[in-house]
Structure 1
């Protein structure tokens, strides 16, 4: 058969899978998708074109379930990412029991529940802590894969599935039966399992205010962007005011929703729904090129300072004479930019004329103070100038608009370090890393904080990450957050720190 025809059919199959299931697959998966398509044709006894036509017209629930078995990974285990269950027990549960809706019990959704381990882990966690036995605990667990739902209903597991389960819980809630462990009925009956498609706007599943807590872990990472955004909107609608959302450890709401506060406790991140705040568009940083800046050996500058903020300040000092010579007085350059047009300020930033760039930003109309891009650039420029209290205020105003802005959390980390609050600085860096794992600068800053605290292992871990990320860091982000240093200088700093810690790169 013509290769172009086969490729076109597989591409159509990929598009239909994304439409009906929300699942997104990269080009590298096209050969695997071709195998899945072939197996479904063989199982249904239908040729390629009629099968694709049936999918386009609207597949049956049985066919969607069969596709889910082929396309999704169901491997999981009890208390996966156990820190989230600590947060559920010690922060979320007490808060929800204080809510006005607590009198009717606690309602939890496990979305994408696979073979039930997550939902049963939730049940065990909450059942041991509910102060009033009469308080109703209702856990709804949904998945599209019928084989996973069937396994969950059996509630029989191997010891490997309990590898992270605390021994006391194993003894209380499981009994051995041959090579398997059987879950106690008190936990089994606390969970209702249903076959549901998360990519559908199911009005019964997503009733407004239906749940106190939603676990939707390791689902969004497989969804196409539009499908992920739609799913988050449905979750938002279905949460009670002040309800909580747990995602997988590698997933964030960045770029998907502004309807949640970011929470960080028990070494894990999760979300709490804001009161009366509608989702807003995600801001994207302005694009610019990084200048080829030649400066002092950055490792030596860092070595001679108490913190990274001071190092940035010293870097700014080396161009202050150039700035004053260019403008005559070091003041604002002629011509105020159009509202919300940051090109001139960014060009001054690129030239390391930080005082001039700050002047242009501060000369923007008052209404620009509600623009996330303006606030972020303003905060960065204030930090460059050592005005850390004002920079911190600008960051907080930005986070009031866009709480998931990784850049704002990083600038706050610099401000906290400058104020002598290294613990607060590390917390902000960790938030930035969580929200954007590709962001190099908070990794590097965490490494520098660890060096000053004498934590060599953390230093090596973070600097190794920063080194890898800096190689491919976006030029505009290096411009904004690189402290006035270019890519090669920052890479040299990471290598020098690694070498000094006993690890060569």
Structure 2
């Protein structure tokens, strides 16, 4: 009987209670998929102990069992990452940011960096490689620190052993220089490993300066804020800014929408916006996140029609008539439908662009790393004439999926409208490279843009005068 009960699905209310306890500990948003993970882990952990899942959950909730809570935290904070994730970010680091920091620190001869939310370590080691290559001829000492809430991820980071999937954006020459293979495992070289140390620390656990009082010259915090409660984000941003040494640089991921950073000035480096510390930092009050599109009032600008195919939204069945009753039945509001890409496309196809954008905003709160949602957001903003916002959306898309040709095309179009020939050429070059990599010619179609080929689009850019 106990074995059968252990296999029974846990009570949703108890799962929600555990989710609330985990939220209070981590300040992570408990989205529906997090609750599914919690339920799955609870069933597995209870079965391992031969206990009824309900009794197991009650024990964890009532006792605040730290070891058990860590198991749930480890599962809900597993992050997707790989080496040199985000080519524009690392291009900016190599070409401008790191050389500038080396110049600023030429007297100290030490360069320090933090990978905040480092997960399994790929970002921290990528930083170490970039800093080592830039500083090796100048006698600098390089120190990189990786912090994360997930102890299981940090154990993998310490091992510095990875699959080929983690190296998918690493050029062959870099692989040969910094890795050796053992079967299907890639081992990072000791020359890079010794530059990096890891420490368990959650960004919402307190000010970083209390743990790292000397500060950092460079902090990367890529695609972490999106997973936190909105009320926690300003506190974390201020904590990161305060942990910068004077003149230090803070870089967020394109999915994060950091906004203003206290004590810092925003600096554009190519496609990337970074934040340079120049003054004191004060913690801003938390405020509800408003709609990003409320102030969009630029009139539409005619452009080639950018289209993307998606499965049509499923038809909604007509409501059945209520059964006859002597008294009217009380009205029960229908549950709100979960935001979906198909629904956003349906709104867009019907011409309801603002509704489509609102649907995408809700969807991206749930699934911030869905590249097609960022792509559609960019296409809609192009139609509304919000080219700067569209460019940001396309950048987020290609950060998440660099092979998305339509996003590169959209970014080039936005750059054209903004009078930015550097952006046009950069994304046109990536379109050419993708075409070559796929073994196709200039007549290859750009998927999702009816009738447009790579060659035709490149000719459009070449023949158009940029004001």
2:171 is aligned with 1:166: yes
SS of 1:98 mapped into structure 2: helix
In 2, the alpha carbon distance for the partners of 1:121 and 1:147 equals 20
After TM superposition, give the deviation of residue 76 of structure 1 in Å. 2.0
In 2, the alpha carbon distance for the partners of 1:290 and 1:188 equals 47
Contact 1:246 1:270 in 2 (8 A): yes
After TM superposition, give the deviation of residue 6 of structure 1 in Å. 2.7
In 2, the alpha carbon distance for the partners of 1:76 and 1:259 equals 29
Q: Residues 238, 183 of structure 1: CA spacing in aligned structure 2 closer, same or farther, 3 A cutoff?
A: same
Contact 2:144 2:196 in 1 (8 A): yes
After TM superposition, give the deviation of residue 179 of structure 1 in Å. 2.4
Q: Residues 443, 187 of structure 1: CA spacing in aligned structure 2 closer, same or farther, 3 A cutoff?
A: closer
In 2, the alpha carbon distance for the partners of 1:244 and 1:182 equals 30
Structure 1 residue corresponding to 2:264, chosen from 245, 260, 265: 260
Alignment of 1:205-220 (within 5 A): 206-220=211-225
Partner of 2:200: 195
Partner of 2:280: 276
Unaligned runs of 5+ in 2: 304-380, 398-409, 429-448, 454-467
Structure 2 residue corresponding to 1:12, chosen from 6, 11, 17: 17
Structure 2 residue corresponding to 1:114, chosen from 102, 119, 122: 119
Contact 1:111 1:216 in 2 (8 A): yes
RMSD, matched Cα: 4.5
In 1, the alpha carbon distance for the partners of 2:193 and 2:266 equals 32
Contact 2:124 2:144 in 1 (8 A): yes
Q: Which moved more, 1:87-96 or 1:126-135?
A: 126-135
In 2, the alpha carbon distance for the partners of 1:184 and 1:290 equals 50
Contact 2:22 2:73 in 1 (8 A): no
Structure 1 residue corresponding to 2:391, chosen from 419, 430, 437: 430
After TM superposition, give the deviation of residue 176 of structure 1 in Å. 2.3
Q: Residues 47, 8 of structure 1: CA spacing in aligned structure 2 closer, same or farther, 3 A cutoff?
A: same
Alignment of 1:33-112 (within 5 A): 33-42=38-47, 47-55=56-64, 59-60=65-66, 62-99=67-104, 103-112=108-117
In 1, the alpha carbon distance for the partners of 2:132 and 2:142 equals 8
Q: Residues 42, 223 of structure 1: CA spacing in aligned structure 2 closer, same or farther, 3 A cutoff?
A: farther
Q: Residues 137, 444 of structure 1: CA spacing in aligned structure 2 closer, same or farther, 3 A cutoff?
A: closer
Partner of 2:322: none
In 1, the alpha carbon distance for the partners of 2:140 and 2:89 equals 22
After TM superposition, give the deviation of residue 290 of structure 1 in Å. 12
Partner of 1:349: none
Unaligned runs of 5+ in 1: 292-297, 304-409, 415-424, 437-441, 460-497
Partner of 2:186: 181
Q: Residues 253, 10 of structure 1: CA spacing in aligned structure 2 closer, same or farther, 3 A cutoff?
A: same
Partner of 1:324: none
Q: Residues 449, 14 of structure 1: CA spacing in aligned structure 2 closer, same or farther, 3 A cutoff?
A: same
Partner of 1:449: 417
Structure 1 residue corresponding to 2:141, chosen from 136, 141, 152: 136
SS of 2:108 mapped into structure 1: helix
After TM superposition, give the deviation of residue 221 of structure 1 in Å. 1.5
Q: Residues 144, 65 of structure 1: CA spacing in aligned structure 2 closer, same or farther, 3 A cutoff?
A: farther
After TM superposition, give the deviation of residue 193 of structure 1 in Å. 1.5
In 2, the alpha carbon distance for the partners of 1:286 and 1:216 equals 21
Contact 1:208 1:239 in 2 (8 A): no
In 2, the alpha carbon distance for the partners of 1:199 and 1:43 equals 31
Contact 1:13 1:37 in 2 (8 A): no
State the Cα deviation string for residues 106-159 of structure 1 (Å, max 9, x = none).
111111212211111111111011155531111111222222222222222222
SS of 1:129 mapped into structure 2: helix
In 2, the alpha carbon distance for the partners of 1:191 and 1:289 equals 44
In 2, the alpha carbon distance for the partners of 1:163 and 1:432 equals 23
SS of 2:84 mapped into structure 1: coil
After TM superposition, give the deviation of residue 203 of structure 1 in Å. 5.7
In 2, the alpha carbon distance for the partners of 1:231 and 1:153 equals 25
TM-score with structure 2 length normalisation?
A: 0.58
TM-score with structure 1 length normalisation?
A: 0.54
In 2, the alpha carbon distance for the partners of 1:150 and 1:452 equals 44
Contact 1:78 1:118 in 2 (8 A): yes
State the Cα deviation string for residues 384-427 of structure 1 (Å, max 9, x = none).
xxxxxxxxxxxxxxxxxxxxxxxxxx9xx99xxxxxxxxxx966
Structure with a larger share of its residues in helix: 1
Contact 1:120 1:191 in 2 (8 A): yes
SS of 1:123 mapped into structure 2: helix
SS of 2:118 mapped into structure 1: coil
Alignment of 1:330-345 (within 5 A): none
After TM superposition, give the deviation of residue 192 of structure 1 in Å. 0.5
